[in-house]
């Protein structure tokens, strides 16, 4: 799919204030610093569209970007950033959970996982919560440019094996790098296929 236009629309903490209408949207979630905002910039090929930072906790709000005047990408705050404090983390958690549970236009959630790390409890628990609530999601392995070739496949296989202990059927997964643009076509095609299927409903 070609990205003809990508524009920032609105930021807020309140799902009541998210854009109205029934255009489908795709949201990005995961631990702070995993690369959500960078992935949005990579997919849209617009460098400064979503704000990124080397320090975790950059994205604090629900950010809508309209793509091709037809669908939205949504950048969400990350979870699990200890330095926000217990209260701060709870606030962010509430924003994330309300958005995921209540936003009807949210068509698919991309859950980002750092490809360099072993499966983290916080992510596995989050996936469990998604499953319990029937939220459609896919997994995006990020930052693969930081790994040597064989190690990428190895880590991802280990991760998927771990998931099989918990899940009967695995969600779709994408292998990406915002540096090399690995996985860009796959994710955009996936979104396009879903958009098309929604139009023919
Ligand atoms: P929060 O908004 O704080 O939750 O973080 P985020 O998940 O949006 O992460 P962000 O995109 O801001 O990226 C965090 C850091 O990781 C930045 O320094 C990025 O440059 C870096 N980064 C993100 N994706 C990649 C990648 O694919 N490869 C490499 N090498 N670095 C990446
Ligand atoms: Mg961010």
Query: Which among 30, 31, 35, 148 is the best mutation to test ligand 1's pocket, defined by most ligand atoms within 8 Å of the CB?
Result: 35
Q: Looking at ligand 1, which residue's alpha carbon is closest to its atom 20?
A: 54
CATH number at residue 102: 3.40.50.300
**Closest ligand (CA of 141):** 1
Sequence-separated (6 or more) residues with CB below 8 Å from residue 65: 6, 7, 8, 9, 40, 44, 49, 50, 72, 73, 74, 75
Is the residue at 201 inside a domain?
no
> Total domain count for the chain?
1
**Closest ligand (CA of 182):** 1
Is the residue at 159 inside a domain?
yes
Contact 137, 109 (CB under 8 A): yes
Strand 62-67 with 6-12, pairing: antiparallel
Cβ atoms < 10 Å from Cβ of 179: 13
**Closest ligand (CA of 41):** 1
Is the residue at 199 inside a domain?
no
Q: What is the rounded CA–CA span in Å between residue 186 and residue 173? A: 10
Is the residue at 141 inside a domain?
yes
In the chain, what is the greatest distance between 2 CA atoms, to the nearest angstrom? 46
∠ CA 28-113-66, rounded to 5°? 15
> What confidence score (pLDDT) does residue 169 get?
93
> What confidence score (pLDDT) does residue 77 get?
92
Is the residue at 147 inside a domain?
yes
> What confidence score (pLDDT) does residue 154 get?
96
pTM of the model: 0.96
How many Å lie between the centroid of ligand 1 and the Cα of residue 5? Answer: 23
> What confidence score (pLDDT) does residue 82 get?
74
Domain residue limits at 81: 6-193
Is the residue at 132 inside a domain?
yes
How many Å lie between the centroid of ligand 1 and the Cα of residue 168? Answer: 31
Nearest to 108 by CA among 32, 179, 193: 193
Is the residue at 200 inside a domain?
no
How many Å lie between the centroid of ligand 2 and the Cα of residue 55? Answer: 10
Is the residue at 106 inside a domain?
yes
Which residues of the chain have a pLDDT value below 50?
none
> What confidence score (pLDDT) does residue 89 get?
85
> What confidence score (pLDDT) does residue 56 get?
82
Q: Hunting for tokens 């460098």 — which residue is that?
A: 47
């Amino acid at each position: 799919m070609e990205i003809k236009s990508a524009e920032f629309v609105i930021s807020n903490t309140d799902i009541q204030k998210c854009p109205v209408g029934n255009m489908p949207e795709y949201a990005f979630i995961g631990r702070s610093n995993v690369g959500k905002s960078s992935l949005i910039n990579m997919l849209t090929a617009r460098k400064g569209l979503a704000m990124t930072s080397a320090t975790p906790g950059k994205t604090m709000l629900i950010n809508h970007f309209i793509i091709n005047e037809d669908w939205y990408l949504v950048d969400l705050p990350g979870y699990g950033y200890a330095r926000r404090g217990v209260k701060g983390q709870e606030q962010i958690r509430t924003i994330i959970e309300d958005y995921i549970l209540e936003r009807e236009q949210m068509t698919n959630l991309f859950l980002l996982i750092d490809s360099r790390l072993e499966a983290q409890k916080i992510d596995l628990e989050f996936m469990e919560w998604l499953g319990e609530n029937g939220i459609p999601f896919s997994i995006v392995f990020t930052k693969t440019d930081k790994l040597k070739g064989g190690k990428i496949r190895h880590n991802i296989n280990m991760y998927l094996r771990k998931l099989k202990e918990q899940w009967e059927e695995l969600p779709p997964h994408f292998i990406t790098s915002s540096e090399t643009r690995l996985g860009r076509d796959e994710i955009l095609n996936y979104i396009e296929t879903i958009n098309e299927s929604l139009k023919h409903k």
